[in-house]
Amino acid sequence: MPVTTTRDTSELREIAKELRVQIIRLLVEAKSGHPGGSLSEIDILTCLYFGAILRYRPDEPSWPERDRFVLSKGHCTPGYYSTLARAGYFPDEWLMTFRKIGSPLQGHPDRTKGPGVEASTGSLGQGISIALGIAIAAKIDDAPWRTYCMVGDGESESGQVWEAVMSAPKFNLDNFCVIVDNNQVQQTEPVEKIMDLAPLADKYRAFNWHVVEIDGHNFDEILAAFDEAAATKGKPTAIIAHTIKGKGVSFMELSPAWHGKAPSAEEGERAIAEILGGTK
């Protein structure tokens, strides 16, 4: 069954709103998990999965010609699983089993349990290398499919990220696109205070990547960036997406406290009302 996709940004905005609600619901049910980075990544995931960027078949998760997506910032599963459920990889009911014993929806992505999960991640800095290996495999075979990888800004403090960034241009991987969810906040403090990464775009440029800087909550800009990445020849593309951690829920926005804490039932209701109110 083909996935219904759209390039209409008002439709995509509605889908993202729906997914934000789902994120809050499953976190309330699980009583643990990571809301901040899930809310910052969700507009990008919405465009990737429902904006006709990623080619995939939910009823055939191992379709050889599929595009691959690796969530290197593996803790942001609430956003990822909500997206995969909406894409049709598994029923919405599964979301309510998140983090519970026996659930395929582990706290961090497990490719052997959750359909649609390309790589098991959760130890920060590692997913980008796995994605790089996937992109190299496609290049060796001259295969048409593309590889996407989402990396966190806090995650980019890890040396392995830069080993991967250093090495990707060597292989002329124009089939490889990294998205940095630059949401400004990590587990305990703002990224700028823990370890300032600026100028992040310049760092990627210096490693010979094609770089696009966007507002990661602007659907037109997200779609255009993915199109630009696909059209870029001879080098990998890094999309530096400037986002807001906790985006859409005012009391969570840019707050380290909401990196890895689930909202209570009452907080969840407030969050959902705000999301549906569409004020943010």
Partner 1 sequence: MAATATRQAFGDALVKVGSDPRVVVIDGDTKNSTFTELFAEQYPDRFIELGIAENNMLGVAAGLALSGKIPWAATFSTFIVGRLEVVRMSVCYNEANVRIAGTHVGVGIGDDGASQMALEDIAALRALPNMAIVQPCDSIETHHAVEYLTFEHVGPAFLRLTRQKLEDVHQEGYRFVFGKADQLRQGTDVTLIATGALVQEALAAAKALDGEGVSAGVLNIHTIAPLDVDAIVGAARSTGRIVSAEDHNVNGGLGSAVAEAIAEAGIPARLVRVGTRAFGESGSQEELYDRFGLSATHVADAARSLMG
What residue ranges bind partner 1 (CB under 8 A)?
A: 110-112, 118-123, 125-126, 128-138, 140, 159-160, 163-164, 166-167, 171
Contacts of 45 (CB under 8 A, 6+ apart): 19, 79, 80, 83, 150
Rounded Cα distance between 214 and 207, Å, is: 19
CB closer to partner 1 out of 133 and 278: 133
CB closer to partner 1 out of 5 and 129: 129
User: What DSSP character marks residue 163?
Assistant: H
User: What DSSP character marks residue 241?
Assistant: E
Pure H helices in the chain: 9-30, 35-50, 77-87, 127-141, 159-167, 191-195, 200-206, 219-231, 265-277
CB closer to partner 1 out of 143 and 257: 143
Taking the complex as a whole, the smallest distance from the CB of residue 26 to partner 1 amounts, in Å, to: 23
Contacts of 29 (CB under 8 A, 6+ apart): 95, 96, 98
CB closer to partner 1 out of 69 and 219: 69
Rounded Cα distance between 118 and 135, Å, is: 13
Torsional sign, CA 262, 265, 270, 275:
positive
CB closer to partner 1 out of 6 and 123: 123
Taking the complex as a whole, the smallest distance from the CB of residue 172 to partner 1 amounts, in Å, to: 13
Taking the complex as a whole, the smallest distance from the CB of residue 115 to partner 1 amounts, in Å, to: 15
Taking the complex as a whole, the smallest distance from the CB of residue 225 to partner 1 amounts, in Å, to: 23
State both tokens at 198.
């600026």
State both tokens at 216.
């990661």
CB closer to partner 1 out of 159 and 277: 159
Taking the complex as a whole, the smallest distance from the CB of residue 112 to partner 1 amounts, in Å, to: 6
Taking the complex as a whole, the smallest distance from the CB of residue 66 to partner 1 amounts, in Å, to: 11
Taking the complex as a whole, the smallest distance from the CB of residue 12 to partner 1 amounts, in Å, to: 29
CB closer to partner 1 out of 155 and 267: 155
Q: Is residue 148 within 8 Å of 208, Cβ to Cβ? A: no
- CB atoms under 10 Å from CB of 256, counted, come to 19
Torsional sign, CA 28, 32, 34, 36:
positive
